[in-house]
Amino acid sequence: MTNAQKWLTAFLGIFLALFILGRITQKEETFSLPETYAEKTMQSNQELDAMSLIRQTGCVSCHGQNLEGTKIAPALTNIKDHWTRDGLINYLRNPSSYSGDERFKEYKIKYKNIVMPAYNNMDVKDLGKIADFLLEK
């Protein structure tokens, strides 16, 4: 064995020993995903009115304080022309399933790179309150 081979063997041996030691002593880290708006609402067992639910789920951050629309999201007024209560609840639970609709194709052009979040983890009763409020607005 030449000196270069001895040095290489020693280096690899030390590297391997340090690698194994690092794996053995490594603390196990847990990673948590950030909360979505819908998960935040699941934590509250309080009875909330519709506008409080709308604020808590973050609708106003995109659709505006009065839900009259912004540069990044459409207005949530006069939606009774396009939705039934059940249809709106289904949309809120899975908005991506409506992406083929002609109106949503127009929204994709107008509001680029914006994705409506799904609220499928939210209680259906709360979604019903939101839907009722929006349909009356």
CB 75 within 8 A of CB 62: no
- Measured CA to CA, the distance from residue 88 to residue 99 in angstroms comes to 14
Query: What pLDDT, in 10s, does the model give residues 82-105?
Result: 899 999 999 999 998 888 888 888
Question: Which band of pLDDT confidence, cut at 50, 70 and 90, is reported for residue 15?
Answer: very high
Query: What pLDDT, in 10s, does the model give residues 67-76?
Result: 999 989 999 9
CATH, range 40-136: 1.10.760.10
Domain ranges of the chain: 40-136
pLDDT of residue 128: 93
pTM: 0.63
Question: Which band of pLDDT confidence, cut at 50, 70 and 90, is reported for residue 106?
Answer: confident
